[in-house]
Structure 1
Amino acid sequence: MARDWRASVPLTERQELVRRSIREVCADFDDEYWRTCDREGEYPHEFVDELAANDWLGILVPEAYGGVGMGTPEAVVMMEEIAGSGGGFAAAQAVHGGVYNTVPIVNYADESLKQRLLPDVASGEARIQAFGLTEPDAGSDSTAMTTRAERDSAEETSADPTEATASADGDRYVVDGEKVWTSRVEASDYLVLLARTTPRDEVEKRTEGISMFLVDLDDAMADGLEIEPIPKTASAAVPAYQLYFDGVSVPAENLIGEEGRGFYQVLDGLNEERLVIAAECLGLGEVALERGIEYAREREVFGGPIGANQAIQHPLAEAYADLHAAKSVIYRAADRLDDLDREAAGARANVAKYLAAEAAFAAADAAVQTHGGYGVAREYDVERYFREARLTRLVPITQQLALNYLGERVLGLPRSY
């Protein structure tokens, strides 16, 4: 089926370039490839390697560090196209971390860390796919995290008696705690980690005292980091893990930004990332709808195509309307993000994520229903899209948290939590 609805939002020349280039890469990975990854729970290394070889993991890395130097409007196109190619939400999530985990490093890391790391990330030689935030007792309330990173400096006197310097071997943070639902660990060289450097009961605001670190995973595992896979069904091609830190050392030079300000650094890029997640939901909904329409045209019952029946036709048309509306919100918000203040940008980003996840779920549900009994057969893919669409209503935030933001920040209602 022609993807006519995808032309409904005007694209810039750069966005068109991204769409064509990503579509060419995706064309080499057919439906059976994605079915196998899902069935075996195997990360799509070949697909991500191909994107890396074409420099797309560095889409948000500035050109000064060897990256592509594009922004959110182009990343939205990229991730919608990946999800809509047939790989679904799992394909987009396989790439997501490698693209967005560079952002805090670009924005906050000191120059030496940028110079040391970003060129290798842009070229695909190094991967920062994993992000450690969620904990067993700190899900939506990230500020309740208890993982600690305690400074351990071995100081020595410098030539200037008024100064003290930390030795290269001794200046470190020691990390203890647990993280859960950390994805792409097996495909990553580095982990971006959030941990408390000041206990929660010692800060005025619960958002204070959290710091961000770059963790070399090989070094960390050699130092005692334990990793345990979490069996799951939705997006099985992107395995998730529970991480156990027990006295794991992280060099102090791998602190990203200012100590104690890590949570604010995460918030700083949240709106952009939320729009990209919305685009991934959109692509998933589009491919699910596409499969539903194809089947409705081809399948004949009682002497005619089932798509002639309004009980089949209307849910698909409603799904199209929902996806069309979500797409308009996503692309307009991405184009105007730099012109909006944080509150306005946050409102649009949360509206986009909410609408896109709901639209994706409705489209996947309609596609399954259209297929009847075959809707749960792996060979038709729509059952996989349905599992993934349900997941989009939970990650990276639940739909209820998006509504909480809108209720409090936009409608001016009392805080509910």
Structure 2
Amino acid sequence: MDFRLSDEQKLMIEAARKVGDRFGLEYWRKQDAAKAFPKEFWSAVCEAGLCGAALPAEVGGAGLGMFELALVVETLASCGGGATVGQLFMINPIFGGVALSRFGTPAMKAELLPKIVSGEINCSMALTEPDAGTNTLELRSYAEAVGDGWRLNGRKIWITGVPDAAKMLVVARTKKLADCKSRSDGLSMFMIDVERKGLTHTAIDKVGTRTLASSSVFFDDVRIAPGELVGTLHRGWHELLDVLNTERIVTTAALAGTGELAIKLAVKYGNERKVFGDKPVTSYQGLQFPLAQCHVEVEAARLLNHKAAVNCDMGLPYGSEANAAKLLAAQAVSRATERAMQTMGGMGYATEFHVERLWRDCRLFRFAPVSEEMILNYVANHDLGMPRSY
């Protein structure tokens, strides 16, 4: 196994670092305070060709893979954006790009993928529902066949980036559950306009990831055209899983970058801070050891995520690695940001020192986009052969 990076991969990292350094910690602090979508940052990401790292060259992408995309996301997150950088890549090159490049019609690919790669349009994905949550197979939004299309009714919650998106990947039932052979039967994906009659959304106030809005979304007789079906009618469940596993990779990549940044900020502060005599506070093992432990844990999660990304690019199974890496990363970065704040003492609680934002933002990923408990269920069932517990 060769861990050396190619020249092309090094160039991708260099390009990402240049963009990330242009939009450093102060930029993100201001965007967070204003609860404002990072338009300038995302435009620069797209102009540098980073959004399309894993998308086909024929639509303007780089034609590389998920490993290169993970390297890009890690780097951008470590420059200041933190965990929310992963969400930007989720909603655009994953929910928009991967879903369409793998399952979209030729017409969809030709029309939408170049616009996603260039940043002309943003995307979102409407999956989670109030009464289903993690139990996706219990979702109730229903797209009823009407003529040659569908009419959608239902509600979604915690949908990211809706006010700034032009397109929404919607997951809905297209068969009543009573008519399905299994719970995974009768699910379909559609790519629809956010600005459409019958589609409304309201913001959810939240503690972190405030540069990307989270919304409740309501569908009231929303018309879906026949050309907006993504993938196979009634057979969208396994196609959806393919999209969601790539989502795990960019989530973990952003968390790895966040952990790296938090530890870096803590060490810099601690190396300069003196309390008892002339020795910096980081000379004491009571502060050294926890930060060193966090560093080791973040690196372990990063490497497992790299394995998941490489397996994905090689066409090998990667779901177990992607989910396990996300579990490790979310826990490790939660500890890393907490420990960074503790190292900085009272200043770790001040917005001007940035760690509190990283701490608030990364907390989301202990239960999203999939909870720790459900990942452990997956590992127990699929990897260890234990009986299903739920």
Contact 2:65–2:313 (CA under 8 A) maintained in structure 1: no
Shift of 1:295: 1.1
Residue of 298, 301, 319 corresponding to 1:346: 319
Cross-structure match for 1:164? none
1:292 aligns with 2:266: yes
SS of match in other structure, 2:191: strand
Residue of 302, 310, 324 corresponding to 2:285: 310
Structure 2 unpaired stretches of 5+: none
1:320 aligns with 2:295: yes
Shift of 1:341: 4.3
**1:171-203 deviation line (CA, Å, top 9, x unaligned):** 321111101111111221100000111111211
SS of match in other structure, 2:82: helix
Shift of 1:9: 5.3
Cross-structure match for 1:44? 38
Shift of 1:236: 0.9
Residue of 348, 355, 359 corresponding to 1:375: 348
Structure of higher CA gyration radius: 1
Q: How does 1:2-21 map to 2 (within 5 A)?
A: 10-21=4-15
Cross-structure match for 2:87? 93
Contact 2:341–2:355 (CA under 8 A) maintained in structure 1: yes
Matched residue count: 387
Alpha-carbon distance change, 338 to 40 in structure 1, aligned in 2, over 3 angstroms: closer
Cross-structure match for 2:365? 392
Amino acid across the alignment from 1:251: A
Shift of 1:94: 2.6
Residue of 206, 209, 212 corresponding to 1:235: 209
Contact 1:14–1:74 (CA under 8 A) maintained in structure 2: no
Alpha-carbon distance change, 255 to 336 in structure 1, aligned in 2, over 3 angstroms: closer
Shift of 1:335: 2.2
SS of match in other structure, 1:64: helix
Contact 1:82–1:92 (CA under 8 A) maintained in structure 2: no
Shift of 1:338: 4.3
Q: How does 1:136-151 map to 2 (within 5 A)?
A: 136-151=130-145
**1:246-274 deviation line (CA, Å, top 9, x unaligned):** 01111111101111112211112333331
Cross-structure match for 2:168? 191
Shift of 1:316: 0.5
Shift of 1:279: 1.0
Alpha-carbon distance change, 9 to 394 in structure 1, aligned in 2, over 3 angstroms: farther
SS of match in other structure, 1:228: strand
**1:22-55 deviation line (CA, Å, top 9, x unaligned):** 1111111121211111112111111111112223
Q: TM-score scaled to structure 2, two decimals?
A: 0.95
Cross-structure match for 1:263? 237
Amino acid across the alignment from 2:74: E
Q: How does 1:75-94 map to 2 (within 5 A)?
A: 75-94=69-88
Determine the C-alpha separation between the residues in 1 that align with 2:64 and 2:223.
Answer: 34
Determine the C-alpha separation between the residues in 1 that align with 2:127 and 2:239.
Answer: 13
Q: How does 1:191-230 map to 2 (within 5 A)?
A: 191-218=168-195, 220=196, 223-230=197-204
Amino acid across the alignment from 2:67: P
Determine the C-alpha separation between the residues in 2 that align with 1:413 and 1:15.
Answer: 39
Shift of 1:212: 0.4
Shift of 1:95: 3.4
Contact 2:129–2:139 (CA under 8 A) maintained in structure 1: yes
SS of match in other structure, 2:83: helix
**1:52-88 deviation line (CA, Å, top 9, x unaligned):** 2223222232112222212111111011111111111
1:178 aligns with 2:161: no
Shift of 1:361: 1.0
Compare 80-89 and 61-70 and name the one that shifted more: 61-70
Determine the C-alpha separation between the residues in 1 that align with 2:351 and 2:282.
Answer: 22
Cross-structure match for 1:64? 58
Alpha-carbon distance change, 355 to 10 in structure 1, aligned in 2, over 3 angstroms: farther
CA RMSD, Structure 1 to Structure 2 (Å): 1.6
Structure 1 unpaired stretches of 5+: 1-7, 154-170
Cross-structure match for 2:383? 410
Amino acid across the alignment from 2:175: T
Determine the C-alpha separation between the residues in 2 that align with 1:18 and 1:133.
Answer: 31
Compare 225-234 and 93-102 and name the one that shifted more: 93-102
1:103 aligns with 2:98: yes
**1:100-119 deviation line (CA, Å, top 9, x unaligned):** 02112111112122222222
Shift of 1:366: 0.8
Determine the C-alpha separation between the residues in 2 that align with 1:32 and 1:9.
Answer: 34
Determine the C-alpha separation between the residues in 2 that align with 1:64 and 1:256.
Answer: 20
Determine the C-alpha separation between the residues in 1 that align with 2:118 and 2:355.
Answer: 35
Alpha-carbon distance change, 338 to 56 in structure 1, aligned in 2, over 3 angstroms: closer
Determine the C-alpha separation between the residues in 1 that align with 2:313 and 2:17.
Answer: 27
Determine the C-alpha separation between the residues in 2 that align with 1:110 and 1:94.
Answer: 24
Shift of 1:309: 1.2
Contact 1:229–1:242 (CA under 8 A) maintained in structure 2: yes
Shift of 1:298: 0.7
Amino acid across the alignment from 1:60: A
SS of match in other structure, 1:351: helix
Determine the C-alpha separation between the residues in 2 that align with 1:124 and 1:361.
Answer: 31
Determine the C-alpha separation between the residues in 2 that align with 1:314 and 1:119.
Answer: 48
SS of match in other structure, 1:70: coil
Determine the C-alpha separation between the residues in 2 that align with 1:213 and 1:340.
Answer: 25
SS of match in other structure, 1:191: strand
